[in-house]
Structure 1
């Protein structure tokens, strides 16, 4: 029998066979549904649950640790000069020359400028001459009188004594005889003149001569008579001797010459020497004053520092003041300003001022030198607070160590005060701290591999770590990051699912410490 010869046979079940056929279809459908359900479960298990386990394996947790945290207080500050002054002359005058410019570094005692001192040079010469004269007078007073002066006074005394002796003794006989001889000569001349006059008178009476000749002879006779009278008086004086008044006068002259000689021999009095010495001191003071004024015309740096500003140019008139002025005018009140020993003046919040102590180390940074750090020490804490924009702060001065003098006045800096350490404290990464309905806390990894939220009380934040004051024992592991979409909660996935924002927000808030 071949296949082609086979004819299809139509099956016509009976009523009981039809019922069995429907039951078979229902069982087959149920079997297919069960297969599909089981397969879906297997797919779910392989995808969702496996993915969750893989995500847990990728969670980042860190153990809670005990560490020592340095306590630092940050504050903004500005560079100011601890020592600054405006350099001016001691007396008003005209600036002759200026040897430095803005930005120059100078040493203490270095010459900065010269003032015009021409009007003082004449006074200097005069003061030197006056001092020389005073010194000569002092030397003369100390040395006493010369021997020649004493000898001269001695001679004058002897002459006065001789005159006195002559006055007391009277005239010598020879002087009297001489006076008598002069009287006799005068009398003889008078007799001759009288004879000539008588003879000529007779001739005149006889008309032999003129009246003029008679008058001439009369005059000769009268002159001879006067000479006789004078000779008689001289002879009388010679015979009478010196008067008492003349003798007393001669005695006074002798005594005067004796006193003069005694003074010359005794030399100058001590008072005169002291007076001469005082004159020397006075002239020395006058000379020193002029010399000091000339020295003050040389302007020197009072201390080592940097020339921060220039107020005058050569030819400007400057005065002895400390206020600054512009160099654009014809007169200026100062020459230049000098600053040294720079300090950091930081404004520290009143809540942190109790942690600031004199001598405390400070680390300083400046935007101008981002790759450099500078060191300093607290030098002074202000005794009075200041309020600016309703913020209370106190000024803290910090001595700066800057050998290269890189930081200049008015530069802005950041100061970090090293206020000590927190020893052996619990710390967690700052990014692990989150804020939920229960407060601020961290997510701790449980033994089942899930996380639970633990509220904590935080303390100081240093860098990327924060102190935990309470809430943790120290043996936990805290969650710092998890894969996106991971269920951080144990049973309340909806609320826990919002932790991502909480973590990111806490990390951003703490990042400013």
Structure 2
């Protein structure tokens, strides 16, 4: 039997039959396998979903202020440095107040003088008093004439000595600086101002050296002198600005530039002092002439009222001088910590220039920028969860309390500033800490949910794919909000428990 079977298997016809059957069976298997599609399905579920907006910001103090001097001057004292805690009302830095103190003393003296005149008027005027008042006028006139002469001498020295040392042909119409200034416009202005000053100084020199100068009308001369000093002061300020902007070079060494700057600073101080002296002399003359006029007029009710006005004017002068003196100090308006201290002793401080910054003791908030696509989702009061790079594995909770009404354009990118408060004060917080923020904008309960990867989006709309029998169909859907995990709220188009095909990607 075994022999018969082996003979049968060795038959050619049997081998051909087996081969054909194998080919037919393999083809059928391949054909059936290629025509049976395999799908993965996602089930429509019901639950809650939260929409969030994620941004990055930085902590900033809730209270902060930048401070500077109200007056221009040289810094004389520094009482608090970087990192110091200060209380409201403490003086942080102070200018040299010698000139301002002198002005205040002069104002107080003028007030005392006006009050004395008022008392004299009310007591009645005697001949002896008239003589004294006349002498006071004469002395005030001479003092004003001397102040004019002094103002000329100081201004002439400031220009011809302090400035002309770095000018070529300074007293001609072709005056130019001896060094190159990057700001050509400012350099040209300084050169033109120098040319314009020369005839002013020449006429001024002729005036004060004239034999008739001492007999001139002192008030008229003083008025012209004030205009001349103003022109000189403007010129010196521009020269100082030029020296600040001038770089060092082979022809302009650091020591030379420092010498020039020191010389101009001295000149500006001297000219300012001369102007103060001139102004004080004018004020004294006006007061003396007023006192004499009142004495001659007698103690009428009108003259007493006029002198009372002089007293009030002098009181205002004292108040102004006191205010200027107070403006020479940087005073802490609130308690906190000094976070910027750029004031240095000997430095020339400009009026209004911020030198000191203070952050208050009221804690911190977070500033961030939100894109224009997300700002419409936000509302004041939205809850924010925050993590700070400085404190890993910790979360902080707060809420949005400010949304800017106008945009911020940074290199063509539009954003809107928002501010977020912390629910709890944390003493570890510092200014400038990087903060990662998740803001909860909407939360819906009992809604239909699908993952994003089961949703098809194209130019025709938004769809899901399902199987009806063995045929795949496309159904339109309406989307709601989306959370950070990729889950999407489905408003219409599917039912709870329905199976949709997991397409695996978002088509564009």
Q: TM-score, normalised by structure 1?
A: 0.45
Radius of gyration: which is bigger?
A: 1
Q: TM-score, normalised by structure 2?
A: 0.46
